[in-house]
Structure formats: C-alpha cells, structure tokens
C-alpha cells in the first residue's frame, strides 16, 4: 500500500473516531430521558430494524460511509441556542427525519448522526477555559480533550474533516436554528475553494440574516450570512429568495453587502420562473460550478409553515420554492444543503397540530428534492 493511501486510511479512521465521540445516533441529539421516546424508538426501528443496542449499530454503520451509494450524508444539529424569538427548532432533526421516512421514502441518505449538544452553548469562542474543561468532562469524560464542546464548533470541525476525507459526498444538514448554517456553509465553501470549484449559496428565508451582530453576539440566526461572505468567490454569490421581514429595504442590503436578493413580493409579481431565469443567467455568467442551498422554513408563507421560530405571512408558496429549486438543479449540481428552523412543538398561528403537520410535510417535500438532487449530481 502506498504511503498516501496509508495516510488517507489513517485520516478516515481518525474522522470516524471523532464522529463516535462528538456525535450520537440519529434522533438522539436532544438529550432526554422520556420526552419523545416513542418517536426516537420509531426512527431507530426504521433505520436499524430494532430499538435496542442502537449505539453499537450506529458505530458499526460509520465504517461503511465510503461504500454508501448515496452522495447525500445527513447530519443533525439539535441546537436552538443561536435563535432568539421562539425556541423549539432543536427538535427539527428528529421530527424531520421521521417525516422524510414516512412521507418521502425515496429520499435516501447515509445518516452520520446528530451532533452531541449541550443546549446552553453556541460556540467555543464565547467560553472560558474552565467552562470548556467542565463541558469536555461531561461530553467526553476527559477535561483535557482535544474535541470541541459547542454545537457550532463541533459542526465545523466534523464537517472540515468530512470534506477532507469524502470529497465526492456532501452534507445535508438538519437544524436547529439558522446559526447552524454558519459552520455548515463555511466548511463547504472552504472545501470547494480547495478543490478549485466556484460556488454560490442559494438562501431561502423571510429574513436577510445579514446583521453584523445581534445584542452583542456575532454568530446567531440573524447574522450567519454576514460571516460567510468572505468564503464565497464574491459577495453576490449569496443569492437570497423570499425576503420580506426587514427593517431596511432591498437596496440597503444589496449595496451594503454586495449580495443579490429576490424578495417575496417580487416572486409573486414577476413569477417564480422569470426570477429563477434571471438567477440562472447570473450563475452562468459568473461561471459557478456548484450550489449549496440553505432553506429556512420561514421562507414559506406562515399558512404553510407556522411551526417555526419566526413565522411570517406574505411569503413564498411551496410550489414557488419547488419550481425555483427544480430549475436550479437542472442547470447546476447541488452538492450541499440544509433545512433549518422547523420547530414542531411551536405554533405561533394557534392552529394546533395542523401547524406542525403542515410545516413538516412541506419541509420534507423540499428536503427530499434537495437530497435527490445531491444524489444525482
């Protein structure tokens, strides 16, 4: 065996070791004793064919990543610490996985598992050494561990190593609040830059997420886009759809940050096809090779997606979103994606169970489209 092959083998083994420490089986990202126990067991039954010895089965499955026929690899991040309005998106990975398996069974991925989340933490840079040591002891039984302890930090570290070892695969991230897209997209963009690929981020959202900071915190659900611009080939390679809840107008955001926006009212007035035709022309003119899609479920009108932290009316319809995504997928490989801000227990619309069911149904449809696009690249 060549030295380079040995080094790669060692690297992959180190990655799997990191995953077994920093992640846990799919659906287990929210640490509970009894809450949602039945749903977790149902998910494990669907994935592994049993509800016992799940940790061992999950660890064994990690040895087969390279052999997986699927390019899409699911990573759940059950953190809503970066949110700030209504919490509950930490349940997104469990509930969306279940809905995908029930309603979109053809959308297949390799499931890497869930980041182990301490719910009070966001990023390691906000913690002092004593807190980090205490958390390392709690997570890894080693207060001098080299592993990170906060969800954003763990996610970036795991994704960096993932792309270094499996360059032909891509992460489909499930959140969690939208701060999670910061490490997901940052790792993706760094990896693609190293591969010589020109990329663009396609961002669906009711909000711009272009704050520099929110209440003194620079990495959160309202600011993550600002902090990934430097990793794009150019700022206008961040293209946003569905914006409608903003204290400033479109001109401000485009002129200040150099991004490109298509607000919800423009999509209604001009038609989704006309808008996506413009975007495709822009991407081709910029010689973009691959796309990452970050989808905040509140891009959809609250009539369709009320179970989220910041639901907004006058938004996009699911059909508009699907038309745009299908058109983009026909022209460009989608090699990374995420679905964020589904909060199944949250109901700002006061419509009860229907709000959760509708939000999960539409989120699963869009997720399935993205997963299938990633698998067909």
- What are residue 288's phi and psi, to 5 degrees? -75, 135
Q: How many CB atoms lie within 10 A of CB 165?
A: 18
Which residue, among 263, 357, 265, has the nearest Cα to 306 in the 3D structure?
Answer: 357
Q: Provide the token pair at 50.
A: 């049993």
Q: Per residue in 289-344, pLDDT tens?
A: 999 999 999 999 999 999 999 999 999 999 999 999 999 999 999 999 999 999 99
Along the 377 residues of the chain, how does pLDDT read in single tens digits?
444 554 668 999 999 999 999 999 999 999 776 778 898 999 999 999 999 999 999 999 999 999 999 999 999 999 999 887 778 999 999 999 999 999 999 999 999 999 999 999 999 999 999 999 999 999 999 998 999 999 999 999 999 999 999 999 999 999 999 999 999 999 999 999 999 999 999 999 999 999 998 888 899 899 999 999 999 999 999 999 999 999 899 999 999 999 999 999 999 999 999 999 999 999 999 999 999 999 999 999 999 999 999 999 999 999 999 999 999 999 999 999 999 999 998 876 677 789 999 999 999 999 999 999 999 97
Asked, as a colleague might, if the bond just before 176 is cis with ω within 30 of 0, I would say yes
Q: Which long-range contacts (CB under 8 A, 24 or more apart) does 125-134 make?
A: 125/153, 126/150, 126/217
pLDDT at 6: 46
Sheet holding 110-115, edge to edge: 23-24, 110-115, 72-77, 170-175, 334-340, 290-296, 199-204, 238-241, 260-262
CA 54 to chain centroid? 24
pTM above 0.85, yes or no: yes
Domains and CATH numbers, the chain: 3-375 (3.40.800.10)
């Amino acid at each position: 065996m060549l030295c380079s092959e040995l080094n790669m083998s060692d690297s992959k083994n180190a990655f799997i070791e990191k995953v077994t420490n920093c992640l846990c089986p799919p659906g287990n990202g929210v640490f509970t004793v009894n809450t949602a126990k039945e749903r977790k067991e149902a998910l494990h039954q669907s994935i592994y064919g049993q509800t016992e010895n799940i940790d061992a089965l999950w660890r064994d499955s990690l040895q087969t990543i390279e052999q997986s026929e699927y390019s899409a690899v699911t990573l759940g991040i059950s953190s809503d610490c970066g949110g700030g309005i209504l919490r509950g998106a930490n349940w997104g990975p469990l509930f969306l996985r279940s809905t995908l398996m029930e309603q979109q069974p053809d959308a297949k991925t390799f499931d890497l598992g869930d980041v182990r989340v301490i719910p009070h933490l966001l990023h390691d840079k906000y913690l002092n050494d004593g807190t980090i040591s205490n958390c390392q002891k709690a997570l890894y039984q080693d207060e001098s561990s080299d592993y990170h302890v906060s969800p954003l930090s763990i996610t970036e570290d795991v994704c960096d190593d993932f792309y270094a070892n499996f360059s032909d695969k891509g992460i489909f991230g499930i959140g969690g609040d939208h701060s999670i897209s910061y490490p997901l997209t940052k790792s993706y963009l760094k990896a693609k830059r190293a591969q010589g690929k020109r990329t663009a981020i396609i961002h669906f959202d009711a909000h711009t997420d272009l704050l520099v900071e929110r209440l003194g915190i620079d990495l959160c659900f309202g600011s993550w886009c600002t902090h990934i611009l430097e990793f794009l080939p150019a700022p206008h390679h961040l293209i946003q759809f569905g914006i409608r809840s903003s204290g400033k107008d479109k001109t401000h955001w485009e002129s200040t940050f150099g991004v490109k926006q298509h607000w919800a009212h423009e999509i209604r007035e001009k038609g989704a096809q006309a808008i996506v035709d413009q975007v495709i022309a822009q991407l081709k003119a910029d010689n973009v090779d691959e796309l990452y899609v970050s989808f905040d479920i509140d891009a959809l009108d609250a009539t369709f997606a009320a179970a989220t932290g910041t639901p907004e009316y006058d938004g996009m319809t699911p059909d508009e979103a699907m038309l745009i995504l299908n058109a983009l997928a026909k022209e460009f490989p989608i090699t990374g994606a995420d679905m964020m801000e589904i909060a199944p227990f949250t109901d700002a619309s006061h419509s009860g169970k229907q709000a959760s069911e509708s939000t999960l149904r539409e989120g699963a449809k869009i997720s399935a489209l993205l997963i299938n696009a990633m698998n067909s690249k």
